[in-house]
């Protein structure tokens, strides 16, 4: 921990657990507003993504940080990113 302070920038796990996880969590939250059932109160699709965001981020963060199979974690993030991007694209353009 003392040897090199900038060493982690070269680490693939840092990029996966850091920026990639944050980006995917944000896209997941935004897309949830589209697919989550609004319920009879018509507010669940607004409130639940906001409430779930820290949980989604924490789950993805700990998974990508602790997994021994980085390739699997990378593909999981890519798949989640593509699915949520498609949902958002259809919402705005479809």
Helices 44-66 and 21-35, axial angle in degrees (round to 10)? 150
Q: How far is the CB of 73 from other proteins (least distance, A)?
A: 14
Binding site residues, other proteins, CB under 8 A:
1-2, 29-31, 33-34, 39-51, 53-55, 57-58, 61-62, 65-66, 68, 88, 91
As a whole number of angstroms, the distance between CA 4 and CA 46 comes to 43
Which CB atom, from 51 or from 78, has the smaller least distance to other proteins?
51
Q: Two tokens at 66?
A: 């602790």
Q: By C-beta, is 34 or 76 nearer to other proteins?
A: 34
- Indicate the residue among 46 and 82 with the shorter CB distance to other proteins: 46
Beta carbon of residue 30, minimum distance to other proteins (angstroms, whole number): 5
* Measured CA distances, 84 to 11, 23, 41, 67, 78 (Å): 26, 11, 24, 23, 10
């Amino acid at each position: 921990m003392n040897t090199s302070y900038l060493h982690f920038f070269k680490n693939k796990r840092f990029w996966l657990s850091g920026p990639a996880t944050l980006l995917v969590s944000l896209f997941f939250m935004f897309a949830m507003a589209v697919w989550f059932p609004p319920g009879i109160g018509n507010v669940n699709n607004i409130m639940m993504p906001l409430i779930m965001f820290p949980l989604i981020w924490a789950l993805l963060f700990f998974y990508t940080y602790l997994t021994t199979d980085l390739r699997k974690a990378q593909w999981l993030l890519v798949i989640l990113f593509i699915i949520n991007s498609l949902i958002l694209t259809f919402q705005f353009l479809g």
